[in-house]
Amino acid sequence: MGDGKTRAHPLKPAAPLPYVDHFGLSPSDLRAVLSLALSSGGEFAEIFMEHSTYDFINMEEDIIKETAEAVGLGLGIRVVRGDRTGFGYTNDLSMDKVRKTAQTAAAIARGKAAHPLMPPPLRDRTSRASRYLVRRPADKASLAEKIGLVREAYDAARFFDPRIVKVKVHHSDSLVHICIANSEGLLVRDTRPMVKLACVAISEDGGKRESGYWGSGGRVGLEFFRDVRAPREIGEEAAREAIVLLGAVDPPAGEMPIVLAPGHSGVLIHEAVGHLLEADFNRKKTSIFWNKMGKRIGSDLVTIYDDPTIPSYRGSYNIDDEGTAPRRTLLIERGVVRGLLQDKLSARLMGGAALTGHGRRQDYSHWPIPRMSNTYIAPGVDAPDDILRSVRKGFYVASLSGGQVEDSGKFTFSVSLGYLIEDGQMTAPVKQATLIGTNIDILQKIDRVGGDLAFGLQTGTCSKDGQDVPVTDGCPTLRIAGMTVGGRS
Amino acid sequence: MKGRKTARPAPALRDLAEELVAYARSCGADEAEVSVVDGYEFNVDVRKGRIEALIEAGSRSAGLRVIRDKKTAYASSSDLERATLRRLVRNAVRRAELGNPDEFAGLAPPAKERIEAASLNLHDPSIAALDSRTKIALARETERLALRDKRITNSYGATFATNEIRSVLALTNGFIGEYEQTYCGLGVGLQAGDTDHRVEDSWSSSKRHFKDLESPEEVARKAVERTVRQLNPRKIKTRNVPVIFEPTQTSWLLGFLFGCVTGTAVYQKTTFLEGKLGQRIGNERVTVVDDALIPGALGSHPFDSDGLACRRTVVIDQGVLRSYLCNYYAARKLGLASTGSADGGGVGPANFYLRPGPGAPTAEDIVAGTKTGLLLIRTLGHGLNSVTGDISRGAFGLWIEDGRIAYPVTEITIAGNLGRILETIEAVGRDLEFLGPIAGPTIKVAEMTVGGQ
C-alpha cells in the first residue's frame, strides 16, 4: 500500500533506472540474456518484465467485509524462429533462473545461430508522454478514501428502493510496471494504472428476484469519481436495473428488427467483427474474413475502428505488450474490410504487414497475441429518436452482459435488460435474452446508424486463448433490420 | 530436452508457509492462513504438422488471510522474496483494522479427521519423466490422424499439456497439510466445410494419470466426428420441443447448478435455490453429488483451503435439496456445517456430478424415444442468471425426427429455466464420464424454447 516501489533484489545496489528498481536487471544483464536466448538459432528474442500491485475492497451485508492486496512479479522470455515460438517464464528473477528461462525458450529453435549472437545495444525508447491522465493516483491514496467511494455507491444502491434486499460493491485498483527488451535493440517501459468500481444490486418483490449491475473506471485516478462518474450514480444505476427487471417480461422469440442503445451495445461489433479481424485467425485462414480484404461485407453505413490511443480508456495503452506504439486502426470502411489487428508474429508471417500495436498479453506468463483495445462503430447521421420511431414491432437492447463468436462468424450476445418496441415506442421491459446471428448477414442488415456514439461501462474484459485483457466497446444507436432473439414462448 | 527426473524440494515451501504464519501472529494477527503453491507447466501446440509453440515454466505463488478483531484481510504474491511477503503480512494486519468486524470471520477449528493424500492417487510420477520428444509426438500424431479425414478443411492445432503442482497450507490453529497433484491433457480443434460455410469443434481428454489419457486415435476420431456432423446445417422456425443435452452440455448445466447451490450464493441471495433446503426442487431422477474422494479423479483433493477434510456430499437426493456446498464462513452464516468446499475465499466444486439411476438408458435409447426434438451439441454465449435460474444461449444441435437424427441445425437459441429443467428432466442417461471435475450424462428435458427464424 503506502510502501511505494519494491525492489526484487535488495542485495543488488540501487540504481536510478526504474526497470532496475523493479526487476533488478540492468540493460547489460538483459542484453546478455537476449544473446543467450538467440544462441540456438532463434531469429527474435524478447524479455517481458512485469511488476504489479493490486488493491481490492469488498463491501457486502452493510460491512467492509474484506480487503486484499496482491503483488505480481515475473518475466516471460520468447524466442521466435520462423512460425515457431518458444516461451518460458519465471517469477524468480535471480540471474541464474532468468538464464535458465532463456535457455528453455531457446530450445524451440534447435539449431545453430545464424546471426551475430550479441543483439544491438539496448536503447531506451520510453516516451515521456502518457495517455493515462491521472491526477490522484489510486496507488498513493489511502484505503480510507477508497472505502469512502465504496460506501457511497453501496448506500446509493441500498436505499434506492425498499425492494433492494442485497448489495455488493467492489473497488479495485492496480498499477502495472512493464519493461520490454528485445533482440532488435528495443528497451521500453510503461506504467499502467487501472481503477474499477462496480455494484451488484439484488431486488425482491413477492417471491420474484432480479439483479442489476453497473460500474465504471478506466486508466484514471480517483478524481474520476468526483469529476466524471460519482459512486452514487453507479449504485443507483445498478439498483434501478434490478428494480426495472422486477417488472420485466420474458423475451419474445424469433427474428425481428433490433435497435441497439448507444454505448455498451458495441459488444456486438466486438464479437461480430473485431475478433475475426485479429491477424492470427486470418493468417491461419480460420476466420471467415481471411479472403475478404478489400471486399464489401456489410452495409455502407458501417465503419469500424479499434483505437488504443483514446486517453484513459480501459482498453488504452501507451505501448502494446511487444513495445509497439499503437495507432487507431480502420477495420471496416463503409462496409468494406480494410485492416487487421496485428502483432509482430502475424505481421511478419503475413509478408511484413505494418504493425498496428495490438499485440497484447494477460501478464508475463503469457505471450502476446493480436487483441482488440477500444472497438467502435463510427457515428452516422440519423437521430436516435427517428431510429426508434422507425420500428413498428421489435426489440430494444438497453444493457448487455457479454457475447461470444466463433470463426465462422456465428456470434451471440446476452441482453440483461431490453424493451419491447411497439409502434415506435419502448414499452415493457424484457429480461435475459440472447441474440444470435452470422456476422456478414447482420452487418448487411444494419440499416440505420445514429450520430450519438458512446462507449460502454469501462469495466469490460475480453477472453481469448485463455488470456483476459481489459477492453471497451462503443457504438451509436443503430438498427438491424432483422436478427434472431432467443426468447421463450 | 530430457524429461525431468527430480521432484522439487518440498521442505522449503512448508518452512516458508509456517514461517509466515508465525510472522503474522507476531505482527498482531489473531489468526492467519498461508497457502503456497509451486507449479510446473509444459505445453506444446502443433499446427499443420509443425510445432507452433512450446512453453515450459515453473512458478510459485503465496496466498494469505489474516484475521484481527474479527476483521479479515487477504493478500497474494508471485514474488516470494521474504521481504515482499513480510511486507504483505504487515500491510494485511494493518489493513484489517480498516474493515468492519464480522462475527462470522475466523478460521475453522482444527479438523478432527484427515484424508491421506496418497489414498486419492492424485499424482502421477510418470508425467515428470515424459521427455519432450514424446509429448510433442503425441500432439503431432493426434493432429495428423484428424487431418487424414478429407472433410476436415482446417486445423486450430493440437495441444499436449502437463501440470505438476505442489500445494501447502498452514494455519495458526496448528494445521499443516500438503499434497502433490498432476494433470495432463491432449486435444485438437478442427474446421470442416468451405470458407463461407465453416463448422468447427474440438475434443480433448484431461486426466491426472498419463495412462488414463485417451489415445491420439480416440481424440482425433472424436474431434472429427463432432466437427463433420455439423456440416450442411439448416435453420428452423421457433418452437417448443424436448431438448437432449449431450454430456458436454450437461456439464455446463451442472456448472450453472453448482453456482446456485453454494452457501455463498445463498447468503448473498444470488441464487433461486435460497430457502429451498429440504424441499423438492426436481423430480426423482435428479440426484447430484459432490465427491472429493474419488481416487484419481480430476476434482479430488484431501483438504480444502480452510484445512478441513474433504468428503462426499449428496447435494440433491432424488429431487430433494439436501445440502448446500459451504466453506466454513458460509456454513457459519447459514447455521450449517462446512462441506469441506472452501476454495480460496469462496466455494469450489470437487467432483460435482449428476448420478445416473439404476437401469438408466443409453444415449441412443434417449434419442430413439424422442419423436421430435433437439440434440444439443454446442452452445455459444453466457446467458445464465443464477438469481432467477434463467438460461438463454446461442446453440448448435442435431434435429431429431421420429427417433432419428435428421440434420444439423444452426443459428438457434435455447431458452429455459434451471428450476423448471430440474422438475421436468425426462431421462438421465448412463453415460456419465468425468471429462472435467463437473460432469453429467446425457439428459432429456421435457421442453425448452428453441428460437430460430
- Residues B319 and B420 reside in one and the same domain: yes
Residue A3 located in a structural domain? no
- Residues A213 and A71 reside in one and the same domain: yes
The string of pLDDT tens digits covering residues A40-53 is 889 999 999 999 99
- Overall residue count recorded for chain A in this entry: 489
Secondary structure (DSSP) of B20-52: HHHHHHHTT-SEEEEEEEEEEEEEEEEETTEEE
* Residue in A67, A414, A434 nearest the CB of B95: A67
Residue A5 located in a structural domain? no
Residue B232 sits at the chain A interface (C-beta within 8 Å): no
Where does a domain end: A189, A221, A246?
Answer: A246
* Residue in A71, A402, A437 nearest the CB of B84: A71
Residue B312: how many CB atoms within 10 A of its CB?
A: 14
At A108, give phi and psi (nearest 5°).
Answer: -60, -35
**Which CATH number covers residue B198?**
3.30.2290.10
Q: Which helix (H) or strand (E) holds B304?
A: none
Binned at pLDDT 50, 70 and 90, residue B23 comes out as very high
In percent, how much of chain A has pLDDT > 90? Answer: 81
- Residues B199 and B238 reside in one and the same domain: no
Asked if B56's CB is within 8 angstroms of A69's CB, the reply is no
- Residues A183 and A290 reside in one and the same domain: no
- Residues A46 and A140 reside in one and the same domain: yes
- The residues, ordered by sequence, that sit 6+ positions from B19 with a Cβ below 8 Å of its Cβ are none
d(CA B84, CA B19): 14
Residue B54 located in a structural domain? yes
Residue A49 located in a structural domain? yes
The average pLDDT across B322-349 equals: 96
Give the residue on A whose Cα is nearest the Cα of B273.
A209
Where does a domain end: A229, A246, A263?
Answer: A246
Q: Which residues of A touch B89 (CB under 8 A)?
A: none
Give the residue on B whose Cα is nearest the Cα of A200.
B270
Residue B385 sits at the chain A interface (C-beta within 8 Å): yes
A15-19, A306-310, B204-208, B329-333: the lowest-pLDDT one: A15-19
Q: Which helix (H) or strand (E) holds B227?
A: helix B216-228
- The residues, ordered by sequence, that sit 6+ positions from A136 with a Cβ below 8 Å of its Cβ are A221, A222, A223
pLDDT at A443 (0 to 100) = 95
Instruction: Give the distance from residue A95's alpha carbon to the nearest chain B alpha carbon, in angstroms.
Output: 14
pLDDT at A13 (0 to 100) = 33
Q: Which residues of A touch B100 (CB under 8 A)?
A: 63-65
Asked if B77's CB is within 8 angstroms of A71's CB, the reply is yes
A105-114, A278-287, B51-60, B109-118: the lowest-pLDDT one: A105-114
Q: Hey, of B2, B33, B42, B54, which one would you mutate to test binding to chain A, going by the most A CBs within 10 A of its CB?
A: B54
d(CA B221, CA B145): 8
pLDDT at A23 (0 to 100) = 84
Predicted confidence (pLDDT) at residue B18 exceeds the cutoff of 80: yes
Secondary structure (DSSP) of B135-180: HHHHHHHHHHHHHTSTTEEEEEEEEEEEEEEEEEEEETTS-EEEEE
Residue A6 located in a structural domain? no
Predicted confidence (pLDDT) at residue A280 exceeds the cutoff of 90: yes
- Cell numbers at A88, concatenated: 518460458
pLDDT at A401 (0 to 100) = 81
- Residues A63 and A109 reside in one and the same domain: yes
* Residue in B92, B388, B451 nearest the CB of A69: B92
Predicted confidence (pLDDT) at residue B220 exceeds the cutoff of 50: yes
In percent, how much of chain A has pLDDT > 70? Answer: 94
pLDDT at B368 (0 to 100) = 97
* ipTM computed for the complex: 0.90
Q: Which residues of B touch A406 (CB under 8 A)?
A: 200, 380
Asked if A107's CB is within 8 angstroms of B1's CB, the reply is yes
- Residues A96 and A221 reside in one and the same domain: yes
Residue B60 sits at the chain A interface (C-beta within 8 Å): yes
* Residue in B50, B269, B385 nearest the CB of A166: B269
Residue A224 located in a structural domain? yes
Predicted confidence (pLDDT) at residue A485 exceeds the cutoff of 80: yes
Residue B3 located in a structural domain? no
The string of pLDDT tens digits covering residues B281-318 is 999 999 999 999 999 999 999 999 999 999 999 999 99
Provide the Cα torsion B288, B292, B297, B302; round to 10°.
180
Domain count, chain A: 2
pLDDT at A12 (0 to 100) = 34
- Residues A314 and A431 reside in one and the same domain: yes
- Residues B412 and B453 reside in one and the same domain: yes
Give the residue on B whose Cα is nearest the Cα of A80.
B53
d(CA B381, CA A254): 17
Residue B401 located in a structural domain? yes
Q: Which residues of A touch B94 (CB under 8 A)?
A: 1
Provide the Cα torsion A476, A479, A484, A486; round to 10°.
50
Predicted confidence (pLDDT) at residue B230 exceeds the cutoff of 60: yes
Q: Hey, of A71, A110, A399, which one would you mutate to test binding to chain B, going by the most B CBs within 10 A of its CB?
A: A71
Q: What is the DSSP letter of A345?
A: H
pLDDT at B11 (0 to 100) = 72
d(CA B172, CA B175): 7
The average pLDDT across A57-85 equals: 94
Handedness of CA B4, B5, B10, B12 (dihedral sign): negative
- The residues, ordered by sequence, that sit 6+ positions from B235 with a Cβ below 8 Å of its Cβ are B409, B410, B411, B412, B452, B453
Q: Of B418, B422, B432, B410, which Cα lies nearest the Cα of B355?
A: B432
* Residue in B75, B102, B383 nearest the CB of A65: B102
Asked if A284's CB is within 8 angstroms of B451's CB, the reply is no
Q: Which helix (H) or strand (E) holds A59?
A: strand A44-60
Give the residue on B whose Cα is nearest the Cα of A411.
B380
- Residues B282 and B426 reside in one and the same domain: yes
Residue B416 located in a structural domain? yes
* Residue in A168, A211, A414 nearest the CB of B387: A211
Residue B51 sits at the chain A interface (C-beta within 8 Å): yes
The string of pLDDT tens digits covering residues B366-419 is 999 999 999 999 999 888 999 999 999 999 999 999 999 999 999 999 999 999
Binned at pLDDT 50, 70 and 90, residue B10 comes out as low
Instruction: Give the distance from residue A401's alpha carbon to the nearest chain B alpha carbon, in angstroms.
Output: 8
A63-67, B7-11, B70-74, B381-385: the lowest-pLDDT one: B7-11
Residue A121: how many CB atoms within 10 A of its CB?
A: 10
pLDDT at A116 (0 to 100) = 56
Buried b (16+ CB within 10 A) or exposed e, B150-175: eebbbbbbbbbbbbbbbbbbbbbbeb
Beta-carbon contacts below 8 Å between A and B: 269
- Residues B224 and B240 reside in one and the same domain: no
Predicted confidence (pLDDT) at residue A9 exceeds the cutoff of 50: no
Instruction: Give the distance from residue A381's alpha carbon to the nearest chain B alpha carbon, in angstroms.
Output: 30
The average pLDDT across A337-360 equals: 96
Domain count, chain B: 2
Asked if A284's CB is within 8 angstroms of B394's CB, the reply is no
Asked if B199's CB is within 8 angstroms of A486's CB, the reply is no
Predicted confidence (pLDDT) at residue B35 exceeds the cutoff of 80: yes
Q: Which residues of B touch A72 (CB under 8 A)?
A: 77-79
Binned at pLDDT 50, 70 and 90, residue A5 comes out as very low
Interface of B with A in 235-264 (CB under 8 A): 237-238, 240
SS3 A343: coil
Asked if B415's CB is within 8 angstroms of A488's CB, the reply is yes
- Residues A354 and A444 reside in one and the same domain: yes
d(CA B163, CA B140): 19
- Residues B38 and B157 reside in one and the same domain: yes
Beta bridge partners of A59: A64, A169
Where does a domain end: B179, B199, B228?
Answer: B228
Where does a domain end: B190, B210, B228?
Answer: B228
Predicted confidence (pLDDT) at residue A10 exceeds the cutoff of 70: no
- Cell numbers at B294, concatenated: 474419488
Q: Of A115, A120, A141, A113, which Cα lies nearest the Cα of A55?
A: A141
- Residues A294 and A216 reside in one and the same domain: no
pLDDT at A115 (0 to 100) = 57
Asked if B197's CB is within 8 angstroms of A84's CB, the reply is no
Residue A1 located in a structural domain? no
The string of pLDDT tens digits covering residues A31-42 is 999 999 999 889
**Residue range(s) defining the domain that contains residue B337:** 233-453
- Residues B212 and B276 reside in one and the same domain: no
Asked if B390's CB is within 8 angstroms of A209's CB, the reply is no
Q: Which residues of B touch A99 (CB under 8 A)?
A: none
- Residues A262 and A393 reside in one and the same domain: yes
In percent, how much of chain B has pLDDT > 90? Answer: 91
Binned at pLDDT 50, 70 and 90, residue A7 comes out as very low
The average pLDDT across A224-244 equals: 97
Asked if B195's CB is within 8 angstroms of A434's CB, the reply is no
- In contact, B34 and B20? CB cutoff 8 Å: yes
Where does a domain end: A195, A223, A246?
Answer: A246
Binned at pLDDT 50, 70 and 90, residue A486 comes out as confident
**Which CATH number covers residue A170?**
3.30.2290.10
- Cell numbers at A230, concatenated: 460519482
The string of pLDDT tens digits covering residues B104-152 is 999 999 888 889 999 999 999 999 999 999 999 999 999 999 999 999 9
- Residues B39 and B182 reside in one and the same domain: yes
- Residues A262 and A147 reside in one and the same domain: no
- Residues A240 and A262 reside in one and the same domain: no
- Residues B151 and B252 reside in one and the same domain: no
d(CA A44, CA A32): 14
Instruction: Give the distance from residue A50's alpha carbon to the nearest chain B alpha carbon, in angstroms.
Output: 11
- Residues B273 and B207 reside in one and the same domain: no
Residue B368 sits at the chain A interface (C-beta within 8 Å): no
**Residue range(s) defining the domain that contains residue A480:** 254-486
d(CA A319, CA A181): 13
- Residues A232 and A273 reside in one and the same domain: no
d(CA A134, CA B100): 30
If you average pLDDT over every residue of chain A, what do you get? 91
- Residues B211 and B259 reside in one and the same domain: no
pLDDT at A111 (0 to 100) = 64
Residue A420 located in a structural domain? yes
The average pLDDT across B41-54 equals: 94
Residue A190 located in a structural domain? yes
Question: Comparing B189 with B98, which gets the higher pLDDT?
Answer: B189
- In contact, B79 and A71? CB cutoff 8 Å: yes
- Residues B211 and B275 reside in one and the same domain: no
Residue B6 located in a structural domain? no
Where does a domain end: B228, B261, B292?
Answer: B228
SS3 B338: coil
